[in-house]
Amino acid sequence: MTHQEAIMAFSQSEKIKGGIIWASTALQSMDALQGMEKRGAEGVIRTLVNLIAHDVQLSSRIAPDEGWGEVQSFLDQALVMVASGVGFDAVHHLTKALSRVTTIGQRAMTVLKEEHLLD
């Protein structure tokens, strides 16, 4: 991983982690909703997860790492769960995605620390 890739991977991982946490929290809150409110919330959450997925695709191009593909797979699984009406179960897949993104960010941080670009 080059310096530039490590910087981009670290930056993107932080942004993506925030989005995943936001989506997970929204899914947990959505469980209390019913009817039209729940369908509206599902639509908003699908949009959010799709935006996160687009950031993951961008990250895989600007900061290549085999982990981005796994993250994408977990996000796809979460989207299927939300679309199936079992959004609360999607939190499990988002948690796996969050763990993988954290690993990518830690790997990038290690590169930056080894090169004395980060204290």
Neighbouring C-beta atoms of residue 73, cutoff 10 Å = 15
Domain range enclosing 84: 3-114
User: Residue type for 18, please?
Assistant: G
Q: Is 86 part of any domain?
A: yes
Q: Is 93 part of any domain?
A: yes
| 18-74 residue pLDDT tens | 999 999 999 999 888 999 999 999 999 999 999 999 999 999 999 999 999 999 999
Q: Is 75 part of any domain?
A: yes
| 63-111 residue pLDDT tens | 999 999 999 999 999 999 998 988 888 999 999 999 999 999 999 999 9
Q: Confirm if 23 and 112 have CB atoms less than 8 A apart.
A: no
Q: Which residue in this structure is represented by tokens 């469980």?
A: 31
Q: Is 119 part of any domain?
A: no
Q: Is 76 part of any domain?
A: yes
Q: Nearest to residue 14, comparing CAs of 117, 79, 106, 96? A: 106
Spatial neighbors of 21 by CB under 8 A, at least 6 apart, are 98
Domain count of the chain?
Answer: 1
Neighbouring C-beta atoms of residue 84, cutoff 10 Å = 11
Q: Is 66 part of any domain?
A: yes
Q: Confirm if 57 and 72 have CB atoms less than 8 A apart.
A: yes
Residue 101 maps to which CATH number? 1.20.120.660
Look up the pTM and report it: 0.92
Q: Nearest to residue 18, comparing CAs of 107, 97, 111, 109? A: 97
Task: Look up residue 45 and give its two tokens.
Answer: 């959450």
